[in-house]
Amino acid sequence: MNYFEAFSEIAAELEEIEDRGQVAAYIPELSHVDPDKFGIHLTTVKNQQYFLGDSNTKFSIQSISKVLALTLARGLEENYLWDRVGVEPSGSPFNSLVQLEYEQGIPRNPLINAGALVVCDVLIGSLKNPQQEFIEFVRILAGDPDIGYCPRVAKSERLTGHKNAAMINLIKSYGNINHDIDLVLDFYCDLCSVEMSCKQLAQAFLFLATNGTNPLTGKEVVSVSRSKRINAIMQLCGFYDEAGEFAFKVGLPGKSGVGGGIIAIHPGKYSIAVWSPRLNAKGNSFKGMKFLELFTTRIGSSIF
C-alpha cells in the first residue's frame, strides 16, 4: 500500500480545518515551539518508510517516553511492577491526584504521571546509571545515537511541576516510592524531556509491531506476551480521559505527549508517529488525533 498518497490527501484536507487548541505552556520551556509544525512518519515492519512535513525535526516527546520506561522496566525480571501499578484506564487527566488517595498510592496505570513516577522508582532501583542506561536503550531501539535529553525542558518542568511533586509525596506516604523523592523527580523530568523526531519515534516503537523484536538488530526487546500487554495498556490508557475516543476513532494502540506528538502501532504492519503542537482540552494533539482518525479510516486500518 502506498501510504504517501493518503498522507498528502489528508494533509490537504486538514489545511481546510482550523487547527484548534493551545501549545502546552504549563511547562514554560515547551511554549517556545512553533505551533504550526506538522510531521508524519510511518515505518512498516518490512522497513518501508513514508513521511511528510516536519518528520525529521525533533520535539519534546514528553509522556510518550512513559511507554519506553515501562518497556525497560518490564525487561528487568526482578521487579514486582504489577503489585505497585495497575493496568486500568484512569478516565481522568494525566496529572490527576484524586484516585491516588482512594486507591492508597497504587496508580491506575503506568502511562499517567503517577504510574510513571513509580516506574521511575523501579528503574532507579534496578539500574546502575538510570539516565545513561535509559537513553542508550532508546538510541538502540531507534537505531540512532543522535537522541538525548533536553536539560532546559527538564529544568523547566522540575521548577514548575508542583503537581508531580505533590503526587510523588502522596504515593510515598503510602510506601509505594522507595527512593529519594528528588532523585525520582529528576529522573522523571529527564525522561519527559527526551527529544526525538517522528522518524526516530516510528523506528523506536516498531518492536511493538513485530511481537517485541527490534527489527534493526533482530534481538528481543520484550517477549511476545509482554509486547501484546504493552499494546493493550496503550490502547486502554495511552490518551488519559480520551483513550476511549482514540480507540473509537483511530482504532490503534497509541500514546500521546504534551509536546504534541502521538505514536500509534498497527501490530504486524507498521508504527506511525505524528507531531502537531496544538493540544486539545485533554492534552492530546488536536491535529494529530484528527490526522490519525482520517488516515486509519481512509486505508481501513484498525485492530478491530
| Residues engaged in binding ligand GLN (CB under 6 A) | 62-63, 94-95, 113, 157, 164, 192, 257-258, 283
Residue closest to ligand GLN (Cβ): 63
Min dist CB 262 to ligand GLN, Å, is: 11
* Residue 94 beta carbon to ligand GLN: minimum distance, rounded to whole angstroms: 4
Identity of the residue, 193 or 210, whose beta carbon is nearer to ligand GLN in the bound complex:
193
Give least dist CB 223 to ligand GLN, A: 27
Residue nearer to ligand GLN on the CB measure, 93 or 125: 93
* Least distance between ligand GLN and beta carbon 217 (Å): 28
Q: Which is nearer to ligand GLN, 215 or 257 (CB)?
A: 257
Closer to ligand GLN by Cβ: residue 94 or 291:
94
C-beta of 49: minimal distance to ligand GLN in Å?
26
Output the smallest distance, CB 210 to ligand GLN, in A. 26
Cβ proximity to ligand GLN: between 210 and 285 the closer is 285
Nearer to ligand GLN, 3 or 188 (CB): 188
Q: Which three cell numbers stand for residue 190?
A: 529527564
